[in-house]
A and B are shown apart, each in its own frame.
Chain A
Amino acid sequence: MRSTTGADRTAITAVAVLTAAFALFFLLPFAGLVERAWEDGRTFEIWRTQQARDALFLSLWTSTLSVGLAIAFGTPVAYLLARYRFPGRAVIDAIVDLPIVLPPTVAGVALLTAFGRRGLIGEPIDNWTGFTFGFRTIAVVMAQLLVAAPFYVRAAKAGFEGVDAQLERVAYTLGASRMRAFVRVVVPQAWPSLLAGVILAWSRAMGELGATLIFAGNLEGKTQTMPLAIIEAFEGSSLGLAGAIALSLALLIVALALLVVFRLIAGRAASGV
């Protein structure tokens, strides 16, 4: 090993300082949240309010459903994009990516122009069946699916691309069906990427605000997810600023718990237990 030069030391110092500053920047907001919640002392009381429980419950189940739909529809798409070359592949690839770079408010307006009461297909559906999407919980799920699913598809596609196609062929020659080869060979190999995609999509769905507000509206128990309840509390609803802080803290804890659970699953998968 060569000796450390002065230039090296400067570089190491720079990296250490930047890392420390960055870590501080990430930690301080959480510290502020905890400190204010502690100081206020009403956090548990606010967590027990009907509005807070409704919002958390709605956020949890809509985001779970959105991620479930993302897995159901996104996995075949990701596999297709990773394994096959076909006409229109580049277009599909780009369309799947689009919501990642799109601000959620744009996604909300776009959903409105498609599924709204005067929308591209929203209007005919309303005319034929009288069904409208707006102000319903299904609109919340649609908004989450649109903004969150691409994160899963992206990660899953990268995961599938990393699986040696030779392994699949070996599985076929050993008599495995395509489905069985996918489940027993491809999925375990791509597992870390799939899991990362699920975490990304889930967190994105849980945090969805702009598209939901525009497309689904904001009503307690129906369309008011945690981020909407936080915004409304911040704007001075009966929960007030203390409510915004308490709800933010609740969402932070849920997010951390999800992250830990997924890390544990990923760790177990990696160690083959």
Chain B
Amino acid sequence: MRSLHLVVRAGFVVTVFVAFFAASCGGDKAEAPVDDPSVLRGDITVYAASSLTAAFKELGATFEAANPEVTVAFSFGASSTLATQINEGAPADVFASADDVQMDVVVKNGNVAKPETFASNTPVLVIPRGNGPVQSFADLAKPGVRLVLAAPEVPIGNYARQILANASIQGAVSLDFAARALGNLRSNEPNVRAALAKVQTGEADAAIVYATDVSTAAKDVDTIDIPPQYNVEASYPIAATTATKNGPIANAFVEFVLSPVGQSILQKYGFGPPTP
């Protein structure tokens, strides 16, 4: 009998605990009354591709300066990771992806309505500074080259494989170029910065990253332009999520990124204007 008594008591304590917890959570939502509805007030979390890290931090700071009652927090990662997290219910208000594929993953799940393209970027080849085995784009297929790419699902990893495929058609580098280059692949890195780091540390002989990423590693790496006939243009879409509880702020942030001020900040970090 005593153990039953204990269970009942335990159940009671848990109930009280849960009720108290629920009440305290509810209390959070009742915020101070908003006097002027035209002033944006609140917090948003922006999920943005790794390659946007530096540019978006400045965009966030500028947006906060223009809207003193607003706080912008960021979660940077591979667009593919962020897309999975958003589809799993992560509290994102805005999603900025490094390619349309990952934006579509979120659109298909109904978590984003209308993405808009806000920037473009150019993939480049990076090598460790000095006389490594890779001195040209065609060298990627040389035997023994340590090539590192972002994983195929990561936007830059996907772009890189497209580039290799573009160089493997009749009249291009060679028909088996992509096969031989991918035979040199030593690692599928989780995001573009990790791929760059493998070249920066000298572990890898080459990687394909965005032109905008190189500035952070300029003293350790050299850049080789990918022949334009094989290269692809990275296209960045952005959208407010449908689950956002701060729709007005999320939309205002998206508009700000697309505005002339936002565009000039992005261009400062090497991003190109959106390509239609």
Q: Which residues of chain A have a CB within 8 Å of any CB of chain B? A: 9, 12-14, 16-17, 20-21, 112, 116-118, 132, 134-135, 213, 217-220, 223-224, 231-232, 234-238, 241
Q: Are A218 and B84 in contact (CB under 8 A)?
A: no
Q: Are B153 and A234 in contact (CB under 8 A)?
A: no
* Separation of A132 and B201 alpha carbons in the complex (Å): 13
Q: Are B146 and A135 in contact (CB under 8 A)?
A: yes
Number of A-B contacts (CB under 8 A): 88
Known pairs A14-B13, A217-B188, A235-B81 / 14 extra A-B pairs, C-beta < 8 Å: A9-B9, A17-B17, A116-B203, A135-B186, A135-B187, A217-B148, A218-B189, A218-B190, A236-B81, A236-B84, A236-B105, A237-B152, A241-B84, A241-B88
Q: Are A118 and B153 in contact (CB under 8 A)?
A: no
Which of B6, B153, B185 contacts A235 (CB under 8 A)? B153
Q: Does B198 belong to the interface (CB within 8 Å)?
A: yes
What is the distance, in angstroms, from B215's C-beta to the closest C-beta of chain A?
21
Q: Which one of A219, A223, A232 has the greatest number of beta carbons of chain B within 10 Å?
A: A232
What is the distance, in angstroms, from A27's C-beta to the closest C-beta of chain B?
15
Chain B residue contacts of A132, Cβ below 8 A: 203
Which of A13, A112, A134 contacts B6 (CB under 8 A)? A13
Q: Are B78 and A235 in contact (CB under 8 A)?
A: yes
Q: Which residues of chain B have a CB within 8 Å of any CB of chain A? A: 6-7, 9-10, 13-14, 17, 78, 80-81, 83-84, 87-88, 102, 105, 146, 148, 151-154, 185-190, 194, 198, 201-204
Minimal Cβ-Cβ distance residue in B for A215: B203
* Separation of A220 and B152 alpha carbons in the complex (Å): 13
| A219-B188 contact given A20-B10, A234-B81, A236-B105, CB 8 Å threshold | yes
Minimal Cβ-Cβ distance residue in A for B14: A17
Which of B81, B87, B105, B187 contacts A217 (CB under 8 A)? B187
Minimal Cβ-Cβ distance residue in A for B191: A235
Which of B10, B81, B102, B190 contacts A13 (CB under 8 A)? B10
What is the distance, in angstroms, from B208's C-beta to the closest C-beta of chain A?
16
Q: Which one of B154, B185, B188 has the greatest number of beta carbons of chain A within 10 Å?
A: B188
* Separation of A59 and B70 alpha carbons in the complex (Å): 46
Chain B residue contacts of A234, Cβ below 8 A: 81, 84
Chain A residue contacts of B186, Cβ below 8 A: 134-135, 217, 219
